[in-house]
Amino acid sequence: MNKTIRHTSVFVLLLVLALLGRATWVQAYRAEALADDQKNRRKTIAQYAQPLGNIVVAGSPVTGSKRTEGTEGTDLAYRRTYTDGELYAAVTGYSSQAYGATQLEGIYADVLDGTDDRLKNPLDAVTRKQREPGTVLTTIDPAVQKAAYRALGNKKGAAVAVDPVSGRILALASTPSYDPSRISGTNDGAAWQELTGDEDKPLVNRALRQPLPPGSTFKLVVAAAALEDGLYRSVDTATESPDPYTLPHTRTVLRNENASAPCENATIRTALRYSCNNVFGKMAADLGQDKVRAMAERFGFNDAELDVPVRAYASVYPSAMDPAQTALSGIGQFDVTATPLQMAMVSAAIANDGLLAAPHMVSEVVDSDGDALASYEDGDTRRIVSSATAGQLRSAMVTVVEEGTGTNAAVAGAEVGGKTGTAQHGENNSKTPYAWFTSYAKDPSTGKQVAVAVMIEDSGAARSEVSGNGLAAPVAQKMMAAALK
């Protein structure tokens, strides 16, 4: 054989062997990784080849699927739809063919599109049948959710309702909201640009993911620390609190919103009733930052892994403060921040005799036959404060609603306790303050109870009209009334 032909043959053989090796490596070793690659169009086509599984509220799906192949210029057969999308957006998140998925849609994407390994049927491997998707069952109470969303109205804010005993999240609302159906397809760029460019940030879940200064609602945490520490024996023990109070090592005076309120040496009950800054500023300074932070962390502050199962942003109680800053933290200012979920957890623990049940908004994830893939038990509790401390705080919170700054939260026939809050916003409080309210309600005849937190970031009201009782308490009242029905 000609030497040149022989060399050429060997070279061609090596190329064939290299090609076979590469094909084997791609099809065997790399097959799974390539199949799972987000840029693999076949994966996306398979994901939307059948209707997605649903997210369910009180037995009824709040999601659906719409046939799109051949009607919207796409090779994807189905797209996600939403029933009352704006109402439940803070719960479901969105599932978009172009922009991915968030919240429950994102966490349970594999269950909802049928690719979760737990959905496998042995026969499916033989018949190549696509697996039936699963279903996500939530803890949301539609009546409470509607009450929250409607009461928030056109305000920028958020609201959360929790069952104190079980930890079930009954409502999770954030406004302004959006309809996830608008961005669920492949050709929704205009809607996406509108939502992402909106200065009011409708895609932000304010209930879970926008910690803001909680103002005077944080005084409940400081009061709990003082009672547990023994700084004061009861909520009816007089405190040593000058009015006004000068912040430690400064000439800065901490005054009260109501100059005529009886805040000098007031008891904790009176101080909560009139929201006395001097009392809780001095109380925090007397306790010291370590003791206040320890109590805040028992309630859930500084927890960077709070999953419900959506990951909530951490509420923060800062460290490395001087005494003056510690005093300001005692009234929910300085660098203290909280989400509405966190402040609902504070009220829930107080309502539940000092026990905090882990908050969660999914009860079960099931396959197409209704068999459980995952269950989330109610009542996974830990003790935050003693039963005696919780009882005293409830009594003082009832005084706030019956005689103090929280009268707009009263629910006929129910025991209601609460705490208002107004937090400074902007440098030197130059912007409209935030309005807060956190509370609990119990129906003595049925045993039903609920804990609530409401945050109004902006209502459009004049600065002089902003207050926790005026803006946030009426929202909480409607939510509590709905929960107790």
What is residue 414's DSSP assignment? S
- For the four alpha carbons of 294, 242, 213 and 92, in that order, the dihedral sign comes to positive
Following DSSP, what letter does each residue of 463-481 receive, concatenated?
A: GGG--IIIIIHHHHHHHHH
Question: Which of 77, 112, 78, 114 has its CA nearest to residue 92?
Answer: 112
What are the structural domains of the chain? 209-362+376-484 (3.40.710.10)
Distance CA(341)–CA(92), nearest Å, equals: 16
Residues 357-379: tens digit of each pLDDT: 999 999 999 999 999 999 988 98
pTM equals 0.90
- 216 part of the active site: yes
Task: Report helix, strand or coil for 156.
Answer: strand
Structure-token match 């000068």, residue found: 246
Catalytic residue, chosen from 95, 96, 216, 329, is: 216
Using alpha carbons, select from 465, 458, 469, 349 the residue that is nearest to residue 409: 469
Q: What is the pLDDT along the chain (485 residues), one digit of tens a residue?
A: 567 777 677 777 777 777 777 767 666 665 555 455 555 567 677 777 899 999 999 999 999 999 986 566 677 889 999 999 999 999 999 999 999 999 999 999 999 999 998 987 765 655 556 789 999 999 999 999 999 999 999 999 999 999 999 999 999 999 999 999 999 999 999 999 999 999 999 999 999 999 999 999 999 999 999 999 999 999 999 999 999 999 999 999 999 989 999 999 999 999 999 999 999 999 999 999 999 999 999 999 999 999 999 999 999 999 989 999 999 999 999 999 999 999 999 999 999 999 999 999 999 999 999 999 999 889 889 999 999 999 999 999 999 999 999 999 999 999 999 999 998 776 666 678 999 999 999 999 999 999 999 999 998 877 667 899 999 999 999 999 999 99
